[in-house]
Amino acid sequence: PFGAGLIVDLLFPQQIVAVCSPALLPEGVAEIAASEIQHHVLLHDAHNLWPEFMEKAVGLKMTTELKRMRFNQTGLAIDAAVAGQGIALASRFLVAADLATGRLVQPVSGEMRGTQDFYVVMPRKQRHPEPTQA
């Protein structure tokens, strides 16, 4: 998908996980049953991956009766999850630090391989091969 004039290095594959504040789970519970997701607010970003995630990662069809909150950026959905507003979907590498510190937890163990990996893309040829003087 990238042109021959570009150098492309994969940074991270897109591995989608569900995350929420630990305060959203019952005390002493590290993970909820997939069927329990429907009792929480689902935080959607512009990618709208919840229907696909529910089917592929946890084996459930999404119903229209679920509570939802929509954001135009993944970062806003993650912030809402940290604040205890619901369960968000995010690329694992975007939430790895929050998972490591316990600010976020994975309420269900299911994961989904996304289709939008993250790359560093650079031109093969320098645009300004000679030093430029100001």
Of 28, 24, 27, the C-alpha closest to 37 is 24
> Which CATH number does the domain housing residue 40 bear?
3.40.190.10
DSSP labels for 70-113?
E-SSHHHHHHHHHTTS-EEEEEHHHHHHHHHHTSSB-SS--EEE
CB 75 within 8 A of CB 40: no
- pLDDT, residue 134, reads 67
- pLDDT, residue 30, reads 85
Decide if 105 is inside a domain.
Answer: yes
Q: Has this prediction a pTM greater than 0.85?
A: no
- pLDDT, residue 128, reads 65
Decide if 69 is inside a domain.
Answer: yes
* Domain extent at residue 28: 13-115
Decide if 128 is inside a domain.
Answer: no
Residue 66 burial (C-beta neighbours within 10 Å; 0-12, 13-18, 19+)? middle
Decide if 3 is inside a domain.
Answer: no
- pLDDT, residue 73, reads 93
Decide if 121 is inside a domain.
Answer: no
**Domains: count for the chain:** 1
- pLDDT, residue 22, reads 96
What is the mean pLDDT, run by run of 10 residues, along the chain of 134 residues? 85 93 90 87 91 89 80 95 97 96 95 89 77 68
Decide if 129 is inside a domain.
Answer: no
- pLDDT, residue 17, reads 97
- pLDDT, residue 65, reads 67
Decide if 126 is inside a domain.
Answer: no
Of 44, 98, 93, the C-alpha closest to 66 is 44
- Structure token digits, residue 65: 């009766």
Decide if 29 is inside a domain.
Answer: yes
